[in-house]
Amino acid sequence: MKLVIGIVRPEKVNDVLESLYRARVRGLSMTRVQGHGGELDRVETYRGTTVRMGLSEKVRFEIAVSDEFVDPTIDALCEGGRTGEVGDGKIFVVPLERVVRIRTGESDTSAVTPVGAA
C-alpha cells in the first residue's frame, strides 16, 4: 500500500478528477494549499503596493491505494495535471504502514479497496 500525494494546479483539478475516475481510482481527499516549486512569480499591484506573489495556489490530492493501483494513480495524476509549463506540480509516493476503515474495522488492502470494487 502506498499513499500517493499529488500537488497540482487548481485549474487542472477537474481534469485530474476525471482521469482518476477513468483509472477507477475512487477514494481520495483534496485540500487547497499554497506553495512554491520554482515557477515564475506573479506580480500584482494594489494602489501603490506592488508585490510578487511568492506562493501560488495548488491543490493537494491524497490517495491511499493498494499496490496494483499505484501506477495507474500516478499516470492519471500526470495525465490530468500536465500543461507542460513550469508549475504543473509534483507527485510523492510514500509507504503506508497501516490503513483501517473505521466503519468495519477492516484493515490494509481491504480498507483501501472501495466498497463494491472487489
Partner 1 sequence: MSAGVNAGDTAWMLVATALVLLMTPALGLFYAGLVRSKNTLNTFMMCVAALAIATITWAAIGYSLAFSEGNGFIGGFDHAFLQGVDFTPREGTAIPGLLFFAFQATFCIITTALVSGAVVERMRFGPFLVFSAVWSIVVYAPLAHWAWGGGWLQAQGTLDFAGGVPVEMASGFSALAAALVVGARRDYGRQAFLPHNAVYVLLGAGLLWFGWFGFNGGSGFSVGNASILAFVNTLLTPACALATWFILDIVRARHVTAIGAATAIIVGCVAITPAAGFISPGWAMALGVVAAVPSYAVIMWRPRTRVDETLDVLGAHGLAGFVGILFIGLVAGSSWNGVADGAIYGDWGQLGEQAVAAVATPAYAFGVTFVLLKLLGLVTPLRATAYQEAIGLDIVAHGEEAYATGEGAILVAHDGAVEVEREAEREKALV
**C-alpha span between 89 and 82 (Å, rounded):** 8
Query: At its nearest, how many Å lie between partner 1 and the CB of residue 7?
Result: 15
Q: Which is nearer to partner 1, 53 or 115 (CB)?
A: 53
Q: Which is nearer to partner 1, 83 or 104 (CB)?
A: 83
Q: Are 22 and 77 in contact (CB under 8 A)?
A: no
Based on the shown chain and the rule CB under 8 A, indicate whether residue 32 belongs to the binding site for partner 1: no
**C-alpha span between 39 and 84 (Å, rounded):** 12
Query: At its nearest, how many Å lie between partner 1 and the CB of residue 107?
Result: 37
Single out the residue of 54, 71, 92, 107 in contact with partner 1 (rule: CB under 8 A). Answer: 54
Q: Quick one: which segment of 9-17, 60-68, 89-97, 104-112 binds partner 1 (CB under 8 A)?
A: 9-17
**C-alpha span between 96 and 64 (Å, rounded):** 8
Residues 61-90 that bind partner 1 (CB under 8 A): 83, 85
Cell of 81: 495535471
Instruction: Beginning with the edge strand found earlier in the chain, give each strand of the sheet holding 89-95 in spatial order.
Output: 29-35, 56-65, 2-8, 89-95
